[in-house]
Amino acid sequence: MINWLSVVGNGFWIVGLALVLAGFSYHYWLAGQLGHPLRQELGGLSFQRLAIGGLLLVSIGLALTADGLWQLLPAAALVIVSLVALFTLFRRQRRQHPGN
């Protein structure tokens, strides 16, 4: 019998890691095209949103596939930290571009 909760939970962390990898790959390419150092591209808001969004998906997947409380608590803490980080990133973006 298929455990659908496990399939969904594992799907979350796989998609999250794929998102982080794709974001890193794109910003690595962009840094080469623009002649910027990679550190500058990875420090930008667009990569940080992708990385933290991917981390949020990974942590949700870890929380859904946790076997015990000792696995669930760190995953839930990571979900909360990721949500706070995304909130502050979007808030910082609104401060920098108030007309948008």
Interval 8-66: pLDDT, tens: 999 999 999 999 999 999 999 999 999 999 999 999 889 999 999 999 999 999 999 99
Is 55 in contact with 21 (CB distance < 8 Å)? no
Domain span including residue 74? 4-96
**Which are the contacts of 94, defined by CB distance < 8 A and separation ≥ 6?**
100
In this predicted structure, the answer to whether residue 78 has a pLDDT above a threshold of 60 is yes
Band (73; pLDDT cuts 50, 70, 90): very high
pTM reported for the whole predicted model: 0.86
b/e code 4-14 from CB counts within 10 Å (16+ = b): eeeeebeebbe
Mean pLDDT value across residues 89-98: 78
Residue written as token pair 């949700």: 60
Quote the number of domains for the chain.
Answer: 1
Q: Where are the beta strands (DSSP E) in 8-67?
A: none
Is 62 in contact with 75 (CB distance < 8 Å)? yes
21 half-sphere exposure, CB direction, 13 A CA radius: 7
**Which are the contacts of 33, defined by CB distance < 8 A and separation ≥ 6?**
none
